[in-house]
Structure 1
Amino acid sequence: MHVITTAVLGLLVGSFLNVVVWRVPRGESVVRPPSACPACSRPIRRRDNVPVVSWLLLRGRCRDCSAPISARYPLVEAATAAAFALVAWRLGATWELPAYLWLTGACVALVLIDLDVHRLPDAIVLPSYPVVVWLLVVATLAPSGAAEWGDLARAGAGGAILFAAYFVMAVAYPGGMGFGDVKLAGLLGVGLAWLGWGSLVVGGFAAFLLGGLYSLGLLALRRAGRGTGIPFGPWMVAGGAVGVAVGEPLWRAYLGLLT
């Protein structure tokens, strides 16, 4: 039941993230003014703001001027709902679930913004640090929770380790790694290491593996050159998702092969 409830929450959050993705890179408020049609500037009615359903009922067009509404809006809402549901299924109805839902929502927004403008805005990344840490502290203090202070300490250490690793890479190779990636790395490190060192290692490695394979594919298809800039934020998030989903069992299997 908690998975379904979380998926519905994801639909609502996804609707808000569409606003965030459009306005934050432009330095605009995500609260005011209310959402409006970019073609005719008429405010979006409440009944036309129901995630996914409204777009389908309107057949992808503005009610007032019939201008097309991008399919990206319902896709973001549906993708956020699916991501929330998967996180809820992976973690269960635990005290740390809110921290990972916040992290998931932030990552969805950051991936889309990075794809659009090749930036990872501080306005999303930096406030997520205290929010995620505070929610993990709550999970640690919860009387019926299974978390321990060691989990919180490991999360802090993991965030510092991944932040430092990306910082060194950004300094050593400025053209290949931005400081937005460095800041995101610390945040992802906290979330991954809370689950275990295996999640951190697998998630960190998977980002470079997936990003490298994608780059090789573009080179093979001649859709990019050696100097082509490719946003790395989406691959960091994809790697983090792998770490959360299967990081611990993969790490145990790897250690088993060594021993």
Structure 2
Amino acid sequence: MINDVDAGFAASWGGNYPEYDMFERLSKESWKTGDLLMFMLDNEKFKADFINRFADLLNTVFSSEIAQGTVEEMRALYEVEMEEHIKRWGYPTSYIRWQAYVDNMKSFAKERPENLIEQLTEEFDLKGMSDITLNSDQLKGYIQVNRLNVNDTYVDLLDGSSWAGRYFNGIPVKLKAIPLQGYHFAGWFDENDHLMSGDIELDVDPADDIELTAVFAIGDPIVEEDALSVTTILIYASVFVISSLSITYFIMKRKIRA
């Protein structure tokens, strides 16, 4: 739910305030549109999801580098039209003034993330942040961090196989290894190549910097021969039910004839 953002992101009439504290505004009695969010944040699960989602975005689309790059892309897109736009509409008052507005947006994009981290830390009494470094062979599979896929456009892979993000200590981060077709997940390994877990989904509490590698191997996952699959169990159950109904019907039919 969004309310009144026309003066956001260092807009020309809104000023450049990267330190602006939205939590303070939302919690004020006069800011009624913030009531719903503040009530929802009383729920511990929602609060953890909210904090993690914020961290996901700060590591990607809201990071200083990506946000500034997006502003530059938009500058290049509209720059060729600005002289004509100014002549026709008279706003901004000059091309130089327009460039200054764009520079303000870049400045906001650069400084805003660290201010947000400070505000989140204070609002939720968090205990700092730690780096999570994740490795995987992108040709075999990738990793999902909370709702963030570490193979998306906005994820900056360090060397084609590694990704690092900052997350808040004490807030468990959900990891999921997703193999590509023809491969299966073989396990999570730490920086010393020790197997940490064979579960495809893993919750980690970033109390300190951590590095994990999701290893994928070729072929289908190994399944024990004596292990019954869910499909097999359902088939057996269906056969049992059908057989039972058939026997019951046969008995009832015999009784009616008798």
TM-score computed with the length of structure 1 as normaliser:
0.27
Between structures 1 and 2, the one with greater helix share: 1
Between structures 1 and 2, the one with greater strand share: 2
TM-score computed with the length of structure 2 as normaliser:
0.27
Q: Decide which structure has the larger Cα Rg and report it.
A: 2
